[in-house]
Structure formats: structure tokens, C-alpha cells
Homo-oligomer: A and B are copies of this chain.
Amino acid sequence: MLSWVDGRPAELLSVRDRGLAYGDGLFETVAVRGGRPALLERHLARLAEGCARLGLPYDATVLRDELLAFSRQLGEGVAKLILTRGDGLRGYAPPQPAVVRRLLLGGARPAYPAEHAEQGVRLFPCATRLAEQPLLAGLKHLNRLEQVLARSEWQDDEHAEGLMQDASGRVIEGVFSNLFLLKGGVLLTPDLSRCGVAGVMRAELLAQADALGVPCEVRDIDLAELLSADEVFLCNSLYGVWPVRRLQGRDWPVGPLTRKLQAIARDLLDC
């Protein structure tokens, strides 16, 4: 399987990398279609913000050029980009100056059943709660044990995704997706300033809905409000949009706004 370290083909990296030692880094999972990375500028923008907040040097030109070159070689599939703070000296203190290590890992396009997109998915209610850490909220960093624990909670094929709440019971996101709901004609998605990953597809769909004239709000949402929504859907940068059809005894039909945004996401990912 195709993989690069710092721009060169490599399957291995140093055992002293701080990404391994501390999860000291960031990642992006990018759909690659026809040799092109989808939503490239949004992925780069999130990386830039993540680097700024973690104090990592960010070089847009190197990253863009490398993602483009890697995608050309991959052709179709998924490019996972990992940035780490390079090799560690002793202890948690970041080396000064930090040298960023870039990893690019190629993979096949995930083989999700077509019915997830067509008929919608059933959400597993995860018991694992997301801790509130405003300093890391929104970032796609490498500290992902909460997601590993949450995804370990179910093994059946009945549930395509899990719903994650924070410790206070607010609904936040899926394990590997962001969450939207439509209620009274307003498109809502949870505020991610305390925890959660601010997905690039989430940002894109907020912009697209706004362009369609749909009122959008980013705010706290509790479980009761989610269960009383008119439409519910999930999104991420690989599968686009999945309608949610069932959660905790509540059933939803696939709604018209969900279908409209799903079509837009499909266009973006087939770019």
C-alpha cells in the first residue's frame, strides 16, 4: 500500500516519533477521486488552525504540493495525512524549533453498504462520553482513545455509527462523523468548542446550506431536541451524507433537505 514519509516512499518511521509517544500531532482523511484530493482547501485550512493551536510549524505549499502529488499517484481511494512534531527529545517539552514530520498513507475507498446512503443508518447510543477540553476541541488531533472506546461498544452490523454525547449529556457527534438536524426549518449542528472534531464536510455543508437560504445554527443540543428533530443526518469527508433513520426507538424518514445536501456532498466527493 502506498505510503510516504516526508515526501518519500516509506513504510516505517522512527520509534521515537512524538506522534507515537504522545499523540503529538494532527491528521486529515482525504477522499481521492480521479487523482485529485476532495475538499483540499478545507483540509488545509483545518490543518493550519490545528498547527497554530498546537504550536506546530505549518507550510501550506509543501502540504498542498505533497497531497496533490500523492493523490495523483494514488488515483482512487483515501489519503490519510498525519503531521507529527517529529522525533522526541526527553519528556513532554516540545523541541525548539519543532521539525514537523509528514506521513501520507494510501488506502482503498471504504466499502460502505449502499443502503447507508440510500435508506439511512441506525445510530448506536454510545456510553462513552467525550471529555470537555476547549484547548483541543474541534481539532483532528492524534489523541483518539475516546473514539476507540466508543467504537468498541458495538460489533453488530445493525448500527453503522454511534452517537457521542459529552459528560453533560449534550449530543456532539458520531464516532467518525458530524451530526446535523433540521428542526422547524432551521439546520442545527452541535457547537464544538468544548469537545468534538470540526469536520471539513460539516463546514462545507454549513456553507452550502447557507447558500441555499437555509437558516443554520451552531449551538448546544440535548438528546431530547435531537429526538424531536424533523430530519437527522451524519456527514464526513469520505462517505458524504448518511441519513439517520433510527435512534433509541425514534424513526425518521429521509427528509428533503437531507437528500439535497447528500447530492451536493456526492458531487463534491466525485470531483
Name the B residues within 8 Å of A55 (CB-CB). 152
Instruction: Report the interface size for chain A: residues with CB under 8 A from the other chain.
Output: 57
- Copies assembled: 2
The verdict on A258 contacting chain B, using a C-beta distance below 8 Å, is no
Q: Is the CB–CB distance between B16 and A105 below 8 Å?
A: yes
Q: 1/0 per position for A124-165, CB-CB distance to B under 8 A?
A: 000011011101100001111111111110010000000000
* Residue A110, interface by CB 8 Å: yes
Given contacts A14-B11, A131-B133, A135-B128, is CB(A20)–CB(B151) below 8 Å?
no
Q: How far is the CB of A98 from chain B (nearest CB, A)?
A: 10
Q: Which residue on B lies nearest to A103, using beta carbons?
A: B15
Q: Are B20 and A19 in contact (CB under 8 A)?
A: yes
Listed stretches A65-73, A86-94, A199-207, A227-235; interface member? A86-94
* Chain B residue at smallest Cβ distance from A127: B135
**Contacting residue for A15 out of B13, B133, B144, B151, CB 8 A:** B13
Closest 10 CB pairs of A and B: A23-B23, A143-B143, A12-B12, A131-B131, A131-B133, A22-B144, A92-B151, A92-B147, A20-B20, A93-B151
Chain A contacts to B: CB under 8 angstroms: 3, 5, 10-24, 27, 54-55, 82, 84-85, 90-94, 96, 103, 105, 107, 110, 128-129, 131-133, 135-136, 141-152, 155, 167, 175-176, 195
13 more A-B contacts (CB under 8 A) besides A13-B13, A129-B133? A11-B14, A16-B105, A17-B20, A22-B142, A22-B143, A54-B145, A90-B110, A92-B147, A92-B150, A92-B151, A92-B176, A129-B135, A143-B144
